[in-house]
């Protein structure tokens, strides 16, 4: 087994992990930073829209010039039927201030990863994190393995968990997830005539939950239904035919794709809001979705991930200076950001007063609270 020593290992090469690496190396180029990514950035990834408030974070890590060269399709705005059946253009629905961008998400994540490589990071692609332990002197030992090589032993001074909402590393250290809802997404990709579809994202509520549709750079449209997982299973809502039955009940969403071609069965993904407790420990911390995942209604998933990575880098830099208090400040930042997001979204959900008998909307208004529900168990996690 080969041995690699480094200052920081980042488990996960999404926007939060790569932003952490970029910011660390921007402020201390002497650090040895290693990114472990389970994919090769070739498959589809969720998160198709980048809000314009991500711009200052991309500028902060000096990634905006490279991003601008990709010529991503701009988002003209958001058309929303929320609280009313009427569709209204709302530039600020997703905290949009100006135009955002439609993304090839895999290409975007790869762009950030290779920008980190250009800055001096080491990148392991198609690599699995197999396990870890701490030596008596508290030094970390991690085992990783690529598809075509023997396991490698890593000996970092600090570990960053950027493994996503399942927070694999942090949970092995005793951290646990506090889950606040059962939000689940079911997405279908469509071939559409782009000349007959406007370049706006569309959000529309229904009795089941809410719908989101947007054109992608590859000229296809993704349509996503967001609802509670347990309620979706009761419908049922498993096959493409089931999904289409519900889609036809919408007005504006179905109008965008009714002449298009569905390209496969629905892709299901958990989308619940959760936070990690604790968000850091001896010589490690969690970033991005590992630290907290927000309701996708905020539309700021990628921007939040970038901000999380940058904030985490400052805490890590303080740690290397012998100032561990930065980790506590980072934990406070994560907590405040999560609670602010929940408060803002509660106000948003309260605007929709139709379907008073819908369990989904009763839950969002705090009318129906299922105290006996074992959220993670219901979701099979």
pLDDT by residue (tens digit) across 110-150? 999 999 999 999 999 999 999 999 888 888 999 999 887 88
CA gap 362, 21 in Å, rounded: 42
Q: Are 171 and 23 in contact (CB under 8 A)?
A: no
Mean pLDDT of 29-38: 97
Tell me, letter by letter, the H, E, C secondary structure of 283-315: CEEECHHHCEECCHHHCCHHHHHHHHHHHHHHH
Tell me, letter by letter, the H, E, C secondary structure of 131-196: EEEECCCCCEEEEEEECCCCCEEEEEEEEEECCCCCCHHHHHCCCEEEECCCEEEEEEEEECCHHH
Q: How confident is the model at residue 108 (pLDDT cuts 50, 70, 90)?
A: very high
Mind listing the pLDDT tens digit for each residue in 142-184? 999 988 788 999 999 999 999 999 999 999 999 999 999 999 9
Show Cβ contacts of residue 228 under 8 Å, excluding neighbours closer than 6 positions. Answer: 181, 182, 183, 184, 209, 359, 360, 363
Q: DSSP string of 61-80?
A: TT-HHHHHHT-PPEE--EEE
- CA-nearest of 93, 95, 113 to 105 is 113
Chain position carrying tokens 């589809």: 44
Mind listing the pLDDT tens digit for each residue in 44-66? 777 678 888 899 999 999 999 99
CATH fold for domain 183-270: Alpha-Beta Plaits (3.30.70)
Residue 211 has pLDDT above 80, yes or no: yes
Residue 281 has pLDDT above 50, yes or no: yes
How much is the pTM? 0.90
Partners of 202 in beta bridges: 79, 213
Report domain extents, the chain.
Answer: 2-46+102-180+272-339, 183-270
Q: Are 31 and 10 in contact (CB under 8 A)?
A: no
Mind listing the pLDDT tens digit for each residue in 212-258? 998 887 778 999 999 999 988 887 778 899 999 999 999 999 999 99
CATH fold for domain 2-46+102-180+272-339: FAD/NAD(P)-binding domain (3.50.50)
Q: Please, what sign has the CA dihedral across residues 298, 302, 305, 309?
A: negative
């Amino acid at each position: 087994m080969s041995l690699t020593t480094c200052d920081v290992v980042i488990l996960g090469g999404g926007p939060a992990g790569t932003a952490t690496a970029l910011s660390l190396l921007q402020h201390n180029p002497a650090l040895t930073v290693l990114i472990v990514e389970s994919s090769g950035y070739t498959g589809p990834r969720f998160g198709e829209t980048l809000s314009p408030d991500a711009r200052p974070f991309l500028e902060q890590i000096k990634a905006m010039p490279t991003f601008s060269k990709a010529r991503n399709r701009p988002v003209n705005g958001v058309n929303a039927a929320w609280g009313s059946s009427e569709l209204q253009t709302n530039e600020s629905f997703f905290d949009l201030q100006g135009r955002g961008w439609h993304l090839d998400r895999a290409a975007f994540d790869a762009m950030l990863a290779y920008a980190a490589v250009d800055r001096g990071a080491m990148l392991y692609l198609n690599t699995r994190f197999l396990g870890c332990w701490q030596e008596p002197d508290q030094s970390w030992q991690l085992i990783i393995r690529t598809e075509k090589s023997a396991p490698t032993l890593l000996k970092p001074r600090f570990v960053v968990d950027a493994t996503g909402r399942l927070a694999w590393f942090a949970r092995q250290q005793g951290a646990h997830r506090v889950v606040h809802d059962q939000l689940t997404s079911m997405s279908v990709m469509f071939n559409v005539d782009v000349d007959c579809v406007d370049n706006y994202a569309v959000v529309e509520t229904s009795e089941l939950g809410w719908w989101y549709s947007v054109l992608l750079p590859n000229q296809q449209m993704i349509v996503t239904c967001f609802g509670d997982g347990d309620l979706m299973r009761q419908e049922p809502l498993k096959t493409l035919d089931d999904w289409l039955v519900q889609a036809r009940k919408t007005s504006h969403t179905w109008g965008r794709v009714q002449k298009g071609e569905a390209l496969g069965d629905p892709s299901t993904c958990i989308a619940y809001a959760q936070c990690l407790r604790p968000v850091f420990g001896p010589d490690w911390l969690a970033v991005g979705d590992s630290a907290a995942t927000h309701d996708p209604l905020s539309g700021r998933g990628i921007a939040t991930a970038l901000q999380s990575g940058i904030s985490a880098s400052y805490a890590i830099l303080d740690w290397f200076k012998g100032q561990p208090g930065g980790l506590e400040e980072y934990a406070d930042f994560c907590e405040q950001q999560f609670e602010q997001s929940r408060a803002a979204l509660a106000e948003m959900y309260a605007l929709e007063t139709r379907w008073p008998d819908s369990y989904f909307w009763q839950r969002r208004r705090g009318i129906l609270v299922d105290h006996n529900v074992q959220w993670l168990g219901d979701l099979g996690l």
